[in-house]
Amino acid sequence: MKYIPLIFMLIFSSCSVRNYEKTESKIIIIKSPKIKFADLGYIRSSDKRIELELFIAGKVVDKISINHLICVKDGCMSKRGFNEEYLHFSYPDDTLQNILLARAIYDGKNIQKNPDGFKQNIKNEYVDILYKVTQNITYFKDRKNRIIFKIKNTELRKNIE
């Protein structure tokens, strides 16, 4: 009887272990109305999850986890709720996820592909976005809403042919 809580704890703690297929260290700059960060971070990803871990002086200062919800230190919320509170209400739900994974935003609207990646310019009544992705840097700037994401590799990628 006294072992039941221990067994229960072991079973449920093993379910909380997260296995990520890819972990990359990056130099990350984020400027938004609610988030200001410039230092080292890790982007961990698998098919169903993304985790952004932010460090200052070697200590974790913030963590953002994305699956069907986005979780921050203040709690979890829908992707739409996260955009409304931390970014801009007009952004599509998957905007943060696509920026972290260096994928096209706004369903590839106005995409211009080049040998090193792609570029998107998106303007409407709510946003004025320049988004560029190359092998070594992801750059997102919304001039209208003063939001910037700059994600740079900590090591140069080698071209493998």
pLDDT, tens only, 54-86: 888 777 778 899 999 999 988 899 999 999 999
Domain range for 76 is 18-153
* Residues facing residue 59 across a β-bridge: 56
Give residue 15's pLDDT.
Answer: 42
Per-residue pLDDT band for 48 (boundaries 50, 70, 90) equals confident
Which has the closest alpha carbon to 30: 74, 3, 61? Answer: 61
Which has the closest alpha carbon to 43: 21, 68, 16, 73? Answer: 21
On whether residue 158 sits in a domain, the answer given is no
Domain count, the chain: 1
On whether residue 6 sits in a domain, the answer given is no
User: Is the pLDDT confidence value at 112 over 90?
Assistant: yes
Count the neighbouring beta carbons within 10 Å of the beta carbon of residue 50: 19
On whether residue 160 sits in a domain, the answer given is no
Helices (H), the chain: 4-15, 79-86, 95-100
Two tokens, residue 118: 């792609």
At 120 the three-state DSSP class reads strand
On whether residue 43 sits in a domain, the answer given is yes
Give residue 161's pLDDT.
Answer: 41
On whether residue 69 sits in a domain, the answer given is yes
Give residue 8's pLDDT.
Answer: 45
Give residue 18's pLDDT.
Answer: 55
Q: What mean pLDDT comes out for the span 123-150?
A: 96
Tell me if the pTM is above 0.95. no
Give residue 94's pLDDT.
Answer: 94
State the Cα angle at 30 between 24 and 32, rounded to 5°: 150
On whether residue 11 sits in a domain, the answer given is no
* Cα separation, 12 vs 51, whole angstroms: 21
DSSP state of 78: -
Give residue 58's pLDDT.
Answer: 72
On whether residue 36 sits in a domain, the answer given is yes
* Cα separation, 92 vs 2, whole angstroms: 50
Give residue 32's pLDDT.
Answer: 92
* Cα separation, 35 vs 141, whole angstroms: 14
On whether residue 121 sits in a domain, the answer given is yes
Pair 60, 73: CB distance under 8 Å: no
